Amino acid sequence: MAKIAYIAAGSFKQSSLLTIERADTICQDYAGQGYSLTLRQLYYRFVAAGHLPNTERSYKNLGNLINQARLAGLIDWNHIEDRGRNLYKLPDWNEPGDIISSAAYQYREDLWGGQDRMVEVWVEKQALEGVVSQAANAWRAPYFSCKGYSSASSVWEAAQRHIRYQKNGKAPVVLYLGDHDPSGIDMPRDLADRLRLFCVHHGYPAPEIRRIALNMDQVLEHDPPPNPAKVTDSRYDAYLEEHGEESWELDALEPAVLDNLIQTTIQEYLDLELWHAAEAEETRQKDLLRRVADGWSTIEDLDRDGSL
């Protein structure tokens, strides 16, 4: 727990304290499931429950209140994160045995090595990278945050990667998740066109791109809060004709729903018998590394007396 009071908590109105209590309950529930939330995800939980209207002002007001509540020690600092702003540092160890122990923990076989397809998970928004990463990592699938329409460099690099998959006998598959709004609906089409251009030029077919969220059947099933579609979007008219005036954000779906959707879809592309055999070999190799790490002091003794 990281509830730390940096300021006094006595100035909150009763209505604000109720909102803070609800937010804390939501955060603790998600933490119990292994998730941290972005502010927008927390906001959508309030909107879905009917506690807040779905407006930009409402979102900003909640953000200000949550910030004050965290400073007052009423909400755990670890329960809400700002994805995309991270500190990076090279790893270090106290002795060689530690790095071997770390290697044992980190060692992974290429579980996709025997598969005939290679699945990647792409998400429109970096804010949802934490949810996507948890689901993708469960099946060792690479994941990528597009941050809207992907840059030319990132799409070209993806095409080169997909060509390498095909050279190694694997058909590439991209599982795509994005908002249900004029641009969000168009983005997979744009990716498909550009990946096809790059791949076909080098004599390889484009990857399969499968949009798995947010789709209209999921909107009907989960009833996320709607937003007015942006009339200033150049794709608005086509969207309006097919889907109407409302749009929906991917963030509004429960993380557990997205996690289950991603994991279930990945498994559709796997030969699970080959997968489990590779997992067993990985366990054997990890155990060997652990035994080496545990016996490092013996190796040091042999080195000191010249027996190595």
C-alpha 107/C-alpha 282 separation (Å) is 8
pLDDT digit string, tens, across residues 105-134:
888 999 999 999 999 999 999 889 889 999
pLDDT number for residue 48: 84
For the domain 116-270, what is the CATH code? 3.40.1360.10
pLDDT number for residue 203: 97
Mean pLDDT for the stretch of residues 55-76:
94
C-alpha 114/C-alpha 163 separation (Å) is 17
Mean pLDDT for the stretch of residues 147-175:
96
C-alpha 81/C-alpha 78 separation (Å) is 7
Based on C-alpha coordinates, what's the Rg of the chain? 24
Nearest Cα to Cα of residue 149 among 179, 185, 190:
190
Helices H, strands E: what count in the chain? 12, 6
Task: Parse the chain into domains and list their residue ranges.
Answer: 14-79, 86-114+274-308, 116-270
pLDDT digit string, tens, across residues 177-208:
999 999 999 999 999 999 999 999 999 999 99
Outline where DSSP puts E strands in 115-170.
117-123, 143-145
Note whether 208 and 172 are within 8 A (CB): yes
pTM: 0.80
Residue 1 pLDDT more than 80? no
C-alpha 298/C-alpha 221 separation (Å) is 61
Residue 289 pLDDT more than 80? yes
Phi/psi region, residue 169 (left: phi>0; alpha: psi -120 to 50; beta: rest), is left
For Cα atoms 218, 223, 227, give the angle at the middle one, nearest 5 degrees: 100
Residue 84 pLDDT more than 80? no
SS3 of 225, please? coil
At 38, phi and psi to the nearest 5?
-85, 165
* CB-neighbour burial class of residue 223 (10 A; exposed 0-12, middle 13-18, buried 19+): exposed
